[in-house]
Structure 1
């Protein structure tokens, strides 16, 4: 096995949340292309079915599992479906997330709750549902990976993104803390913080002024990251020898300071 290739991914079982679009979809496709059995978790069943069909057509294995990460019971049921089909997971990617910027004094408590429940609570539900699988894989001497997709907004301040940034800062801190619990037991915990990335997250914004400002950033930078860039990084990270943990990865477009 080459430590510089992706051969170590072949035969593994991954769970990818937020797989209906963006980074989650791209990550699922990339992992499947390297021989990983991939369970696709998201709420949009039609998109998951379409993605599973594309992966199968390309020679990969994928299981579409409709689940709402904000609902612990839904995630537990999804975990049972994954185990019934593929057995225990040894690679979990928390990619589900929402970005709903607005000034705090707008009082959008509905948005606050949605971001907290998805970006942080959802990640915790997934971790809880699959932690035993990861720990068991590590105990057997196999690679075991938990990858949390955070954001550069975890530690770089952007006006009007206070609650979004707070949820991502919490996810980054959670990742660091989990390394102290899971690392000594052989489970790698990696935290990925992308900068400006072209996904559908921007379409969630219902504030016209902030939506235009985000569009202006894309125009100013010229070339943002793509979902495939993040997927490639996740595949690289999880294909390293099991004693190597790329724990904190900040990835930006070259032109973003």
Structure 2
């Protein structure tokens, strides 16, 4: 099902080269939005843009790294030059690097914090004024942050990842007190087990096996199913904010 009121919207999706981000790009474009795709892998982005255009949509590939201030600023400038201001921002870029805290993997901790937390803030800094201006002009404006059920449910060896996602969930909650009075909606999406490339980041054979076992026993959401939830939230009347959505496979407690 498509929702007509995404026509005329201009969206930014981070982490758009694969998984949920790729599915979001396809879905939002199919529902009528112009979509700027941000990720590090330029070749994957370009292939996705070509697919969207072949299906009659509008898309722009923007090679960008959310951990780099200058890269995000350059991405903002390119989006503005090509599409103008945006009114839908989806913070989807993220990394999941599980290991016991006792291993002291400072490199992994820093990467997760810089991508999952500070990266979200960089994107909000880049495009937040666009959202406020769109809402001020009477249009619908959405900030959507993709968190995780791991923000609430502890998993052994995922403490730092879960902490970064808890930060995103809290940030979303708090931002509603700043953006809500300006008519900008903030939606926090918390998926459970989802079939994405995140599992490929796991460098421990034991932990990778555990994750595969969970996926086999419980089943996983597809990226398109998570994208459907985002598209639904963004397509509601502008005074309706679906503020917090947890989406899980039915067998995941």
Residue 234 (structure 1) shift: 0.3
Name 2:110's counterpart in structure 1: 113
Secondary structure class of the residue paired with 1:41? strand
Name 1:153's counterpart in structure 2: 150
Residue 5 (structure 1) shift: 6.1
Structure 2: distance between partners of 1:158 and 1:138: 39
Structure 2: distance between partners of 1:247 and 1:39: 23
Name 1:104's counterpart in structure 2: 101
State whether structure 2 residue 9 is matched by structure 1 residue 12.
yes
Structure 1: distance between partners of 2:69 and 2:181: 27
State whether structure 2 residue 34 is matched by structure 1 residue 66.
no
Name 2:119's counterpart in structure 1: 122
**1:217-250 CA distance string (max 9 Å, x none):** 01111x3101001100000000000000000000
Runs of at least 4 residues off by over 3 Å? none
Structure 2: distance between partners of 1:139 and 1:80: 21
Secondary structure class of the residue paired with 1:124? helix
Secondary structure class of the residue paired with 1:244? coil
**1:31-89 CA distance string (max 9 Å, x none):** 00011000000000000000000000011000000000011111111011001100100
Structure 2: distance between partners of 1:56 and 1:175: 32
State whether structure 2 residue 47 is matched by structure 1 residue 77.
no
Name 2:238's counterpart in structure 1: 242
Secondary structure class of the residue paired with 2:250? coil
Secondary structure class of the residue paired with 1:246? coil
Paired residues, number: 253
Name 1:208's counterpart in structure 2: 205
When the two structures are superposed, what TM-score results if normalisation uses the length of structure 2?
0.99
State whether structure 2 residue 49 is matched by structure 1 residue 52.
yes
Structure 2: distance between partners of 1:5 and 1:13: 16
Sort the Cα spacing of 1:94 and 1:178 in 2 relative to 1 into closer, same or farther, 3 A. Answer: same
Structure 2: distance between partners of 1:248 and 1:161: 22
Name 1:41's counterpart in structure 2: 38
Sort the Cα spacing of 1:19 and 1:5 in 2 relative to 1 into closer, same or farther, 3 A. Answer: closer
Which of 24, 37, 40 is the aligned partner of 1:27? Answer: 24
Which of 193, 197, 202 is the aligned partner of 2:194? Answer: 197
Structure 2: distance between partners of 1:212 and 1:21: 22
Structure 1: distance between partners of 2:142 and 2:212: 34
Structure 2: distance between partners of 1:224 and 1:203: 15
| Contact 1:16–1:28 under 8 Å retained in 2 | yes
| 1:114-193 equivalences in 2 (<5 Å) | 114-193=111-190
Which of 229, 233, 251 is the aligned partner of 2:225? Answer: 229
Q: CA RMSD in A?
A: 0.8
